[in-house]
Amino acid sequence: MNDKNISKALEITDANFDQTIQSTQPVLVDFWATWCGPCRMFTPVVDELAGEVAEKFTIGKLDVDKNPAASAKYGIKTVPTVIIFKDGQEVARMIGAQTKATLHEALSEHTN
């Protein structure tokens, strides 16, 4: 199987959400849904980013339909929404699909 077809982004669920965002490195969470066209177009960007920054950041995806608790806790009303967490706290939020450059820039502002 070709590794390029495997998502490099971590699958985040309600069950592992709190533990995941408590990471010692910044965590970017893409809140998305399978029915969302912009989300599907944004997925390759998130996967590429995950492959590029894995040493410094955790990049994950959370399906809002399958994981309503985390989505509700953070008031996710629009997908895709990207939240960056540092030491378990929200430090940045972007609504809508973003470019990889924009995500890189946002993450670089929160490097440990």
- What is the per-residue pLDDT across 69-100, written as a single tens digit (0 to 9) for each? 999 999 999 999 999 999 999 999 999 999 99
pLDDT of res. 7: 59
Of the residues 28, 36, 46, 83, only one is catalytic, namely 36
- What are the phi and psi torsion angles at 19 (to 5°)? -65, -40
Dist CA 87 CA 44 (whole Å): 26
pLDDT of res. 2: 40
pLDDT of res. 112: 58
Of the residues 9, 29, 33, 39, only one is catalytic, namely 39
pLDDT of res. 4: 47
DSSP state of 84: E
- Listed as ranges, residues in the chain with pLDDT below 50 are 1-5
Catalytic residue flag (residue 39) = yes
The two three-digit tokens of residue 26, written as one number: 């910044």
| Contacting residues for 75 by C-beta, under 8 A, at least 6 apart | none
pLDDT of res. 3: 45
